[in-house]
Amino acid sequence: MTDTTVNSTICPRCGAENVRVLTTSPVPGRWTMYVCDTCIYSWRSTEPRSATDPLTYPAEFKIDPAEIPSIPAIPTVPPRRR
């Protein structure tokens, strides 16, 4: 059953309030998946708290939304041919 107390508004990883429902279980009512459209972190309502709760998500895996645009692109986009 879906845990209705599970966090569905704040991204556990980047803290952005940019969360939406990604999908729900094919058998209705079993789980909901959420995704953060800022850092693309996703989680399922049935997962352990370490994955779903900003308070218990570990600091070393967190990310500051302000840093995302400056993360290196791999591979870099090559120039267009003329």
Partner 1 sequence: MAYADLREFLETLDRNGQLLTYSEPVNPEPDLGAAARATANLTDRGPALLFDNINGYEPGKGRVALNVVGSWPNHALMLGLDKDTSVKDQFFEFAGRWDAFPGPVERRDDAPWQEVTITEGIDLFHLLPLFRLNRYDVGCYIDKAAVISRDPDDPDDFGKQNVGIYRIQVKDKDRLGIQPLAAHDLGLHLQRAEERGENLPIAIALGNEPAITTVAGMPLAYDQSEYEMAAAIQGAPYRITKAPLTGLDVPWGSEVVIEGEIIAGEREIEGPFGEFTGHYSGARRQPVVRVHRVTHRRNPIFEHLYLGMPWTEMDYTLALNTSVPLYRQLKAEFPEVAAVNAMYTQGLLGIISVKQRFGGFAKAVGMRAMTVPHGLAYCKVIIMVDEDVDPFNLAQVMWALSVHYHPLHDTVTIPNLSILALDPSSDPAGITHKVILDATTPVAPEERGHYSQVVGDPEGTADWENIIKGLLK
Residues within the interface to partner 1 (CB under 8 A)? 13, 22-23, 25-27, 30-31, 33, 35, 39-44, 46-48, 50-51, 58, 61, 63, 68, 71-81
Considering beta carbons, is residue 9 or 70 the nearer one to partner 1?
70
Please provide the distance, in angstroms rounded to a whole number, between the alpha carbons at the two ends of the chain. 57
- Chain residues binding Zn ion by CB under 5 A are 11, 13-14, 16, 36, 38-39, 41
From the list 2, 3, 4, 43, the residue with the least C-alpha distance to 20 is 43
List phi, psi (to 5°) of 44.
-110, 145
Taking the complex as a whole, the smallest distance from the CB of residue 14 to Zn ion amounts, in Å, to 3
Burial of 13 (0-12, 13-18, 19+ CB in 10 A): buried
Least separation, in Å, of the C-beta of 37 and partner 1? 9
